[in-house]
């Protein structure tokens, strides 16, 4: 599915949103034990069996990446995150973490950051 | 999924006429998928409204924001900072999402800028057909997978009316008779006996507000006596 492409990135806007959720993101990244228990709660992972569909993988490579980079990402990186959060996740909110990480919330946050930069899914293009 | 369609432009204009600062909220769920109220549609609506009011000599401030799901409070909360700074909110989500936003911000007028039209199927990009009216007591099991409530103009439960004509409906020659289609399909599956039994009228449960609690979750939401 096509993703709307941004013309440029506004790191200050990303940093603002990251700052608003800093405690939750920091907690998430510290607590995730990479146990992959969440994998089986994702129907996309269950049907494709590719690690890139694991909820933890999607979370770490979207919001985790943005957080580690402190919002300083380029267009290509932002579009790659857009691809993860829209094309590899439908936000069905059924993913489950035994350690209590709110994975859908984190992926929703990555989507929010992408939307703020003009990167979002286009449903009228293939 | 739920299908929405933008309201007539003039109706939206009238709703926000007296308010100087407008927040248009889109929904990243069903409304986006049916091209009725996603991020793109919100931006287009705001551009049209801005242009219209400028031509009328009125300067209004338009802001846009799209939440992932307007029907989920976790996402509606994202508007907490934005809404109090605005005098009116336009919502491009289904009526459920619009009501949740209105519930969250009871001090701010909230207007829908789309009509919630149907629960339907995707025929093509931008082309959708209604298939369900959420009656709460699905009957398509006995009617061959064709909903007589949605597809029959009279919503009949026990066979066609006298207006069926060569497989078409008396309401319009271009509309197929739902009961003709039900008959054909059941005949093909050799289960015409399914429609030989008289079905009682629908207990119109959607006349009162319904709450859905899925099996296994009853205890969690059980009210204490």
| pLDDT, tens digit (0-9, with 9 covering 90-100), for A81-101 | 999 999 999 999 889 999 999
Q: Test B68 with A111 for CB contact under 8 angstroms.
A: yes
Q: What span, in angstroms and rounded, lies between the C-alpha atoms of B26 and B64?
A: 8
In this complex, is the C-beta atom of A17 within 8 Å of any C-beta atom belonging to chain B? no
CA distance B35 to chain A (A): 7
pLDDT higher than threshold 80 for residue B135: yes
Domain-wise residue ranges, chain A: 11-116
How far apart (Å, rounded) are the C-alpha atoms in residues B18 and B147? 44
Domains of chain B as residue ranges with CATH: 2-118 (3.40.50.2300), 136-207 (no CATH)
Who among B33, B74, B78 is closest to A123 (CB)? B33
**Residues of B in Cβ contact (< 8 Å) with A121:** 32
The tens digit of pLDDT for each residue in A16-33 reads 999 999 999 999 999 999
Cβ–Cβ under 8 Å, residues B67 and B40: no
Predicted confidence at residue B199, as pLDDT, reads 86
Q: Does position B133 have pLDDT exceeding 80, yes or no?
A: yes
Euclidean distance between CA atoms B11 and B96, whole angstroms: 20
Q: Are A93 and A104 in contact (CB under 8 A)?
A: yes
């Amino acid at each position: 599915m096509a993703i709307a492409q941004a013309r440029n990135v506004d790191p200050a806007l990303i940093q603002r949103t990251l700052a608003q959720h800093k405690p939750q993101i920091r907690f998430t990244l510290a607590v995730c034990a990479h146990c992959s228990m969440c994998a089986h709660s994702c129907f996309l992972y269950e049907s494709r069996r590719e690690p890139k569909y694991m909820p933890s993988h999607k979370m770490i490579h979207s919001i985790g990446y943005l957080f580690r980079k402190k919002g300083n990402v380029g267009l290509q990186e932002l579009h790659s995150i857009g691809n993860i959060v829209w094309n590899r996740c439908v936000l069905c909110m059924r993913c489950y973490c035994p350690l209590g990480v709110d994975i859908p919330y984190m992926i929703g946050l990555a989507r929010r950051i992408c939307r703020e930069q003009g990167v979002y899914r286009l449903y009228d293009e293939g | 999924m739920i299908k929405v369609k933008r309201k007539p432009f003039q109706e939206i204009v009238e709703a926000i006429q007296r308010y100087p600062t407008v927040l248009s909220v889109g929904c990243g769920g069903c409304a986006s998928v049916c091209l009725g109220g996603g991020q793109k549609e919100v931006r287009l609506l705001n551009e049209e409204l801005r242009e219209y009011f400028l031509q009328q000599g009125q300067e209004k401030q338009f802001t846009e924001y799209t939440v992932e799901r307007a029907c989920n409070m976790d996402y509606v909360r994202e508007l907490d900072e934005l809404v109090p700074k605005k005098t009116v909110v336009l919502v491009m989500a289904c009526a459920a999402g619009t009501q949740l936003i209105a519930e969250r911000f009871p001090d701010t007028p909230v207007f829908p800028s789309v009509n919630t039209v149907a629960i339907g199927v995707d025929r093509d990009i931008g082309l959708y057909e209604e298939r369900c009216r959420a009656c709460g007591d699905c009957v398509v099991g006995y009617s061959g997978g064709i909903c007589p409530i949605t597809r029959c103009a009279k919503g009949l439960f026990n066979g066609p009316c006298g207006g069926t004509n060569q497989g078409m409906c008396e309401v319009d020659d271009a509309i197929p008779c739902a009961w003709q289609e039900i008959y054909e399909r059941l005949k093909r599956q050799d289960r015409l006996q399914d429609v030989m039994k008289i079905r009682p009228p629908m207990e119109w449960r959607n006349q009162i507000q319904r709450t859905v609690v899925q099996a296994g979750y009853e205890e969690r939401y059980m009210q204490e006596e």
